[in-house]
Amino acid sequence: MAILDNEAIRRILPHRYPMLLVDRIIEIDAERIVGIKNVTANEPFFTGHFPEFPVMPGVLIVEAMAQVAGVLVLRQMEDRDSKLVFLASIEEAKFRRPVLPGDQLRIEMKVGKRKATVAKMYGQATVDGVVVAEAQVMCKLADKEPAAAAQATP
């Protein structure tokens, strides 16, 4: 059962297809969150990674982990519509097993350290109870306005 479905996630995260990599949130509290990514055969990255043996790229697994962490960080903010969460660092990423079409990633992220604009999160991605990836990610909170202004400046 979803606590947050895809529609609710899209109200929190700015990501959209094909970069929204979280389908639902099934558990959440102040320090921990669990999200689900259903990996389907028609994912756009499978056409080139690899056509003969489709494997979800590890960087996208880490991105999915960061997005789940981002839901936790942004959901707790009243002014989240004016904020963005950027991936600031990735540490100790390990990939234990390929993620294939038809797999369901269960992504669990836990808060390690949190400050006003930075959160360090620890997490694992599993398929059928088997760890397929783990990483530490640092998320940086930023205002949307300066990001838009920086893009507009030549």
The CA distance from 85 to 81, in Å, is 11
Give ∠ CA 74-14-17 in degrees, rounded to 5.
135
**49 annotated active-site:** yes
- Secondary structure (DSSP) of 96-125: -S---TT-EEEEEEEEEEE-SSEEEEEEEE
Please report, for the chain, how many H helices and E strands are present, in that order.
3, 6
| From 10, 49, 83, 110, active-site residue | 49
Report the greatest alpha carbon distance in the chain. 49
Residues with active-site annotation: 49
